[in-house]
Every structure is written in C-alpha cells, then in structure tokens.
Amino acid sequence: METDNEVDVVSSPALRFGRELARSRAARGWSQVRLSQQMGYSNGYISLIERGKRGLTFTFAVKADEVFGTGSRFQELWRLYSNASLVEGFTEYVEAEARCRVLRTFQLGVIPSQLQTPAYASALAMAAVRRGDITEAQAEARVSFLANRQQIFRRPTAPLMHAVLDEGCIRRIVGGPEVMAEQLAYLETMAMSPQVVLQVAPFDLGERVPFRMPVVLLTLPDRSMLGYAESLARGYMERSRETVASWSKRYDRLLVESASTAPSLAMIRTAREELS
C-alpha cells in the first residue's frame, strides 16, 4: 500500500527532484549546510527544494549533477518537472525546434516565445497563475524552461528565424508599460541579428491574414519540414507533407502581405515610444 509521501513523489515532479536531492545528500553523509556550500545556494533554498516547495531551475539541476557526479540525472528530473507545466504535445515540438535549421513563425496577440524577455515571459506566466491555470511553481518552471530553450538562438549555429507578428503582439501591453517597452526594445535589438528576420502583419490586413491561430514551420537538417500549431489546451505536430506544404504556401503569402523589415521596425519603435 502506498503512503501519502509515495503518492506525492509520483504526482509531484518537484517533490521527486527534492527527494532525489535529499537521498544523494544523505548518501554522502552531508548536512543541508554542507550541500549548500557545495552548491553555492543558501541552506534555506536547499531545504525548500528538498521539500518540493521551490521552483527549480535548469542551472540548479546542472550544478547538482556536477556536485554529485550523476551525469545528467538531475537534468532529466528537471525536464520532467518543466514538462509538467507545458501544454500537451509541446515537448515533442521543442525537441524538433532544437534540431531545426530554419524556424518560421506567425504569432497572434503575444510576442513569440523565442523573442520574449524574462520579465515579459514572467508576466504571462503569472497571469496564468492568477487565472488558476497553473501553480506558481509551474510558472517558474515555464520561465526557466523558456530561458533554456532560447539558448539555441544564441549559439554560433543558431537557426535562421523568420517571425511575423500580428500587430496586436506589439500593441497589447503585457506586464505594464515598463516591461512592454523593454520587450519592444529587445525586438529592435534582435531584428539587427543576421539570423533574425522580423515583420509585422498590420491590423489593416484584416481577412487577408491566412492563419487563425499561431503556427510554426520548422525546416530540419535533412530539409524535411514539420508544422506546429497550438490551441488553449494542447499543441500538435503536423507531419503531412501536403498539409505542411499548404501552410508554407500560406506563410509565403503572409510575408508578401505584411510590412517589410524597415516599416515593421518603425511600427515597433512607435509602439515603444508611445509607452513613455
């Protein structure tokens, strides 16, 4: 018969991580104080992690593997923890995203996650907490997971990213004027990267916008293409060559209809200046 603690470990990835950390510490004969010294975190932080009461970060998981010599054990537990806060089907997408050579995305309402600042991403995650959709720990996991994902766009072999933003993305204020202004300034900076092409689909496109939901098109190293779309509850990968080809054709049309890079940057700059 399972005890309450055993049920918690199974149902809570955070508690599972904490239990493994406590077990590894005990196997070394270390106190929480000793582990905190080895890890470079406070004793109180270690205590909260072991009890599953604090959000986990990928950096902490990497350090735990380093301290205990456990390969990628804690990193894998962190992935289980972070995946628990994601919509169904998203994990599969992230694995493909990490391998892609070209990423084309169209986003409605919010800045694409690949281009979000930490403050903007946190504002979105905390809004989900206030709605009761996720817990605060899951919100922290989402933001941490995003920061880890974004690393692939900073490496020397970063994929080419072509992002088309519905004008609502730059007009809807998320996190307050200061957070939004920082986000828009970051978009302007990222648009200067040779690996990023940024366009805005203005409101006056009206019914000519070919998508009614956010979509992503990935080109993989073997030149095959995958599509990804997401609803409120789940995401799904589209592998049908005919469907992906249709999405690609629509996307090409969207590029022609949207503002080119220079006018798009002017729209972003104007939106930022209007916040001051």
Q: What is the pTM of this model?
A: 0.71
Determine the Cα–Cα distance for residues 164 and 255; give it in Å rounded to an integer.
Answer: 8
CB 230, CB 87: distance < 8 Å = yes
pLDDT in tens, 3-31: 333 333 344 677 888 889 999 999 999 99
- Domains belonging to the chain, first-starting first, are 4-83 (1.10.260.40), 90-115+150-273 (3.30.870.10)
Whole-number Å distance between alpha carbons of 16 and 196: 39
d(CA 183, CA 138): 22
Please answer whether residues 186 and 115 qualify as being in contact, where contact means their C-beta atoms are separated by less than 8 angstroms: yes
pLDDT at residue number 3: 36
Tokens representing 115 are 């281009």
List CB contacts of 158: < 8 A, sequence separation 6 or more: 152, 195
What is residue 112's predicted lDDT score, i.e. its pLDDT?
94
Instruction: Give the residues of the chain that fall short of pLDDT 70.
Output: 1-12, 55, 82-89, 232-233
The predicted structure's pLDDT at residue 84? 57
